[in-house]
Amino acid sequence: MNARFEVDLLHPGGVARTWRDWLVGPRGWQRLALLAAGGAAILLAVLVAGILPAYWRLSGDLHAVPALRRALAARDSDLGLLRSGLGALSQEARRQVRWADLLTTLSGEIPPALKLRLVEAARVGPPAGPGLPSGAAAKLELRIEAITPLRPGSPPLLVAAQFMAGLMRDPAVSRRFHLKSWEIKPGVVAARSGEPHLGISIALAERAQ
């Protein structure tokens, strides 16, 4: 039987202890227990150092979720109000543009003998009836009133007919309105001169979209 041993040259006369002697000697079990406890402590420290910060971050994020939801709801409400305001501004801008086009058309088509007294736009609902739906949308009606000096013959009627024809030929008017009715009112007296005039009333109704 061969036994292996090592000689400690730094300490003559004694047998050097190897790592095997350290673990399997008389106090080997204590050293093994200390080594296992140290390894477990190191492993626990590594796990704690790696898991606890992530746990704290996750816990903080979970606690912040309700506040973020409330903030998101508030931002969504503000965004809805902003969209509503922008929609109203857009509608008003389109209305202003249409009115500018219409007034430009009126100023270009009106004859010199015709004087405008009223240009009015109003939303008019459909008449109530047994066969008509109750929730029908109101349509825009444009009413134009003008006067022209009353002279013998037919020139005032020709002036009115030319004005209506020119008005309905213009794309800015014809695309959106159609002629609903017109009326000639004789015997209108001008406020300043006191001379008799012929009153002309024209009603334009919005086309169905």
Q: 31-43: per-residue pLDDT in tens? A: 778 888 888 888 8
- Phi, psi torsion values for 37, nearest 5 degrees: -65, -40
Mean pLDDT, to the nearest integer, of 124-150? 70
State the CATH architecture for 112-127+139-206. Answer: 2-Layer Sandwich (3.30)
* More confident of the two residues 10 and 124: 124
For position 178, what pLDDT does the model report?
Answer: 83
| Other beta carbons within 10 Å of 159 | 21
Quote the CA–CA distance of 148 and 48 in Å, as a whole number: 97
Count CA atoms closer than 13 A to 81's CA, side-chain side.
6
- Mean residue pLDDT of the chain comes to 76
pLDDT, tens only, 47-60: 878 787 888 888 88
- Cβ-based burial of 121 (10 A; exposed 0-12, middle 13-18, buried ≥19): middle
For position 117, what pLDDT does the model report?
Answer: 83
Residue-range domain boundaries for the chain:
15-109, 112-127+139-206
pLDDT, tens only, 77-123: 888 889 888 888 888 888 777 777 777 777 777 777 788 888 887 87
Residues 6+ apart with CB under 8 A from 139: 123, 124, 125, 126, 205, 206
Of the candidate ranges 16-20, 22-26, 48-52, the one whose mean pLDDT is the lowest:
16-20
**Residue 8: pLDDT band with limits 50, 70, 90:** low
For position 102, what pLDDT does the model report?
Answer: 77
For position 149, what pLDDT does the model report?
Answer: 79
Give this prediction's pTM.
0.49
